[in-house]
Structure 1
């Protein structure tokens, strides 16, 4: 740990918000990470007490930096590097609940072209609709 600070992309990777440093760096460049309310660059230093707004696949996190680390360790250690605000945790929980309640319109077996069996079922359905 360093007294001056840690690179933002290294800290995000060490705190397990992103799987790789390059993913963290790309997210920062895309504007998905704000340091103390401002867009930052990957090399910007993070210090204890800084506020971060992070948007990743898990949702939007608003956290306060508690500790610094340049090394990725176990998840239990990574969780001690930051404290998420209560409002942020509640908002993520609300979004997750809403996502579960939304209807899903995609067919679960749709991955590209229809299979032969699925095509037969579609033709049967279409013929039945025309006969009615």
Structure 2
């Protein structure tokens, strides 16, 4: 009886793989093959720094490792080291380039793939970026206005100081 259930499960997996080949990840059978080839082998795990690089959340793997060491990567709410093993269903939060990305792992891959395939490996639950108008421009000058004068530099410094949080008398 138990072997019959295993045969049915194997047939279902085979049918799903055939459907993936027909549809193609990213629209072509080559992309589906690339996604399968990028996946880990039996018993292998994928490091979190490698995974966030593979799905193109950071430019380099070393940037991913640095983000982990700096506490900018959380998996299921916990700060993780670069060697943490990622699993399907994990929620990965990454603070990078001034915004927070919140993604849920759909597929674990170990090699970097194209953007169309990478998008299929996670569900993006990130908040939308702020509109460009909401981001305050810092010292925009007219093109061709030349180097700022001493007066201009003092005004820019004053504006920058106003945007910083004021510290108390003891410096905290």
TM, length-normalised to structure 1? 0.72
**CA-CA distance at 1:21 after TM superposition:** 0.5
Where does structure 2 lack aligned partners over 5 or more consecutive residues? 1-38, 153-172
Where does structure 1 lack aligned partners over 5 or more consecutive residues? 126-132
Please state if 1:70 is matched with 2:110. Answer: yes
Distance 2:46 2:80 in 1: 13
3-state DSSP class of the match of 1:79? helix
User: Would the aligned equivalents of 1:59 and 1:92 in 2 still touch at CA under 8 Å?
Assistant: no
Distance 2:54 2:113 in 1: 7
Equivalent in the alignment of 1:5 = 45
Q: Cα distance 1:64–1:102, how it changes in 2: closer, same or farther (>3 A)?
A: closer
Structure with the greater alpha carbon radius of gyration: 2
Aligned residues: 111
User: Would the aligned equivalents of 1:64 and 1:83 in 2 still touch at CA under 8 Å?
Assistant: yes
Residue among 80, 96, 100 paired with 1:40: 80
Equivalent in the alignment of 2:140 = 107
CA root-mean-square deviation: 2.8
Please state if 1:31 is matched with 2:67. Answer: no
**CA-CA distance at 1:46 after TM superposition:** 0.1
User: Would the aligned equivalents of 1:14 and 1:72 in 2 still touch at CA under 8 Å?
Assistant: yes
Distance 1:50 1:84 in 2: 12
Q: Cα distance 1:100–1:54, how it changes in 2: closer, same or farther (>3 A)?
A: same
Equivalent in the alignment of 2:55 = 15
Equivalent in the alignment of 2:146 = 118
**CA-CA distance at 1:28 after TM superposition:** 0.6
Equivalent in the alignment of 2:162 = none
3-state DSSP class of the match of 1:52? strand
Higher strand share: 1
Matches within 5 A, 1:47-62: 47-57=87-97, 59-62=99-102
**Higher relative contact order by CA 8 Å / sep ≥ 6: 1 or 2?**
1
**CA-CA distance at 1:100 after TM superposition:** 2.4
Equivalent in the alignment of 1:129 = none
